[in-house]
């Protein structure tokens, strides 16, 4: 038995080490490939981390924060899941958007960081959409609907916004059907939208 364990250690540890080294190399190669592709396509490449982008925005006098997907604010499993957010009265709060009224720094998959100025509820909308009483189109969904990693003005929702009247976007990273329903009930229902598009990928 000891001999078998010895063989496993002698063989297993180098294999495990090689696997981790390959993972690090592929991560490095991927980041370099992104840089090369971004430069060849004529786009700039931003090598900063999300925290560095937030820090630089704050140094420039702008309010900025990391985007935190709503689903990550829960602890526990199954029926035991609880929100990590608490109100002043101690009751649990459910966040459905990003941080409100600041620039939310989200991701960089194409050379430049996707960030958006959040509205008063943390969603990717011009804040004035909340001043009205109705909406022509309401969009629900996950990061695809939020506009993750797509240049400003090029996301699906941005393009829809140019072709319709008033559009209310309630997309959030990682949102599933229950988060979409919560967003619709909490924020969207009062606008009585003519059309609701729900994207679930």
* 89 lies in the same domain as 20: no
Query: Which pLDDT belongs to residue 53?
Result: 95
DSSP 28: H
Q: What is the per-residue DSSP string for 99-118?
A: -TTSEEEEE-SSSS-EEEE-
Please state the domain count of the chain.
2
* 54 lies in the same domain as 32: no
* 60 lies in the same domain as 71: yes
H/E segment holding residue 157 = helix 156-163
- Two structure tokens written together for 88: 């002043």
Q: How many residues are listed for the chain in this entry?
A: 201
* 168 lies in the same domain as 74: yes
Query: Which pLDDT belongs to residue 76?
Result: 58
Place of tokens 């729900």: 198
Q: Is 117 exposed, middle or buried (0-12, 13-18, 19+ CB in 10 A)?
A: middle
* 142 lies in the same domain as 103: yes
| Residue 21 belongs to domain spanning | 1-43
* 54 lies in the same domain as 150: yes
Q: Which whole number is the average pLDDT over 1-28?
A: 73
Within 8 A by CB and 6+ apart from 160, the residues are: 137, 139, 167
* 147 lies in the same domain as 190: yes
* 79 lies in the same domain as 163: yes
* 38 lies in the same domain as 53: no
* 34 lies in the same domain as 75: no
- Two structure tokens written together for 70: 């709503």
pLDDT tens digits, 78-119: 555 566 666 778 777 778 889 999 999 999 887 788 999 999
* 113 lies in the same domain as 21: no
Query: Which pLDDT belongs to residue 17?
Result: 79
* 91 lies in the same domain as 165: yes
Q: Predicted confidence band at 71 (pLDDT cuts at 50, 70, 90)?
A: confident
Q: Where are the alpha helices (DSSP H) in 41-155?
A: 50-59, 143-146
């Amino acid at each position: 038995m000891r001999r078998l364990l010895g063989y496993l250690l002698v063989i297993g540890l180098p294999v495990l080490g090689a696997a981790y080294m390959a993972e690090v190399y592929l991560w490095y190669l991927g980041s370099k490939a992104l840089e090369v592709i971004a430069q060849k396509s004529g786009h700039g490449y931003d090598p900063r981390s999300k925290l560095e982008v937030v820090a630089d925005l704050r140094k420039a006098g702008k309010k900025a924060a990391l985007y935190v997907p709503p689903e990550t604010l829960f602890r526990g499993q199954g029926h035991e899941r609880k929100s990590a957010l608490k109100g002043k009265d101690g009751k649990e709060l459910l966040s459905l958007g990003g941080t409100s009224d600041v620039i939310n720094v989200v991701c960089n998959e194409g050379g430049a960081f996707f960030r958006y100025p959040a509205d008063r509820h943390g969603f990717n909308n011009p804040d004035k959409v909340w001043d009205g009483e109705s909406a022509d189109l309401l969009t629900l969904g996950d990061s695809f609907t939020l506009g993750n990693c797509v240049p400003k003005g090029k996301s699906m929702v941005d393009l829809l916004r140019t072709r319709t009247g008033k559009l209310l976007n309630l997309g959030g990273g990682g949102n599933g059907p229950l988060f979409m329903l919560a967003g619709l009930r909490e924020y969207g229902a009062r606008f009585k939208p003519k059309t609701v598009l729900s994207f679930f990928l």
